[in-house]
Every structure is written in structure tokens, then in C-alpha cells.
Amino acid sequence: MLEIPCPWCGPRNETEFVCAGEADRKRPANPEAETEEAWADYLFNTTNPKGVVREWWWHVSGCTRWFQIDRDTVTHEITPVKDPSK
């Protein structure tokens, strides 16, 4: 059981949250100009690192707000980020 530090509610059990994937995705600024491969990369591809990853989490059964954390996918160590809602 992970304890996720919600910036607004404090540490809560993981069952209250949804992990919403990697936070480093950037929606293409000019969608019409993108190739299909670039769209596929944005929509589907992941970095999926063995190590620290910055993720979006959603406190769906709590305050319902979104925030980012840094989480290590091997040790499960969680580090809050400075500006969690960016």
C-alpha cells in the first residue's frame, strides 16, 4: 500500500487515487502539422523508466484535484514536487 502525499489533504492511502500516467507529455502546439507517427508517440508511447518518473495523480475519492509527484518505480519512494499542479 502506497501512501500518496496529496498536496491538499496530506498523506492518504493509494486506494483513494488514480495514477494518470507520465507528466512529461506535451500536446503538439500545431496539431494539423504533425505526422501520424508524432501523434502516435504523443498518444501512446511512454518513457516507462526503471527509476524515477514524474506522474500525474488524481485524488478521485478525496478532494478530486490533480497533482504531480516523482515516484521511483523500483523502490516506490515518492518525492513531492515543488509546484504540484503545473
Partner 1 sequence: MKRFSIFSIARNALTGHRHWEKMWRSPDPKREYDVVIIGGGGHGLGAAYFLAKEHGITNVAVLEKGWLGGGNTGRNTMTVRSNFLREDSVPFHEMSLDLYHQLSRDLNYNLMVSQRGMITFIQSSAANRIALQMANTMHIYGAEYRMLTLDEVKQKIPIFDPSPNMRLPVRGGVYQPRASMVRHDAVAWGFARAADARGVDIIQNCEVTGIQQEKGAVTGVETTRGLIKAKKVGMAVAGHGSVVASMVGQRLPITTQPLQAWVSEPVKPVLNEIVVIRSYYGTYLMQSDKGEIVVGQGADPYPSYAQRGTFPIIEDATTSMLEVFPSFGRLKLLRHWAGMLDIPYDGSPIISKTNTCGFYIDVAGSGGFKTTPAAANTFAHLIAKDTPHPLAEKLGLERFSSGRLIQEGGVSANR
Chain residues that interact with partner 1, rule: CB under 8 A = 1-2, 13-15, 18-19, 21, 36-37, 39-41, 43-50, 53, 55, 73-76
Instruction: For the CB of residue 11, give the shortest distance to partner 1 in the complex, in Å.
Output: 16
Instruction: For the CB of residue 39, give the shortest distance to partner 1 in the complex, in Å.
Output: 7
Q: For partner 1, give the closer residue by CB, 1 or 33.
A: 1
The single residue listed with the C-alpha cell 493509494 is: 14
State how far Cα 16 lies from the chain centre. Answer: 15
The single residue listed with the C-alpha cell 527509476 is: 51
Cβ atoms of 66 and 79 closer than 8 Å: no
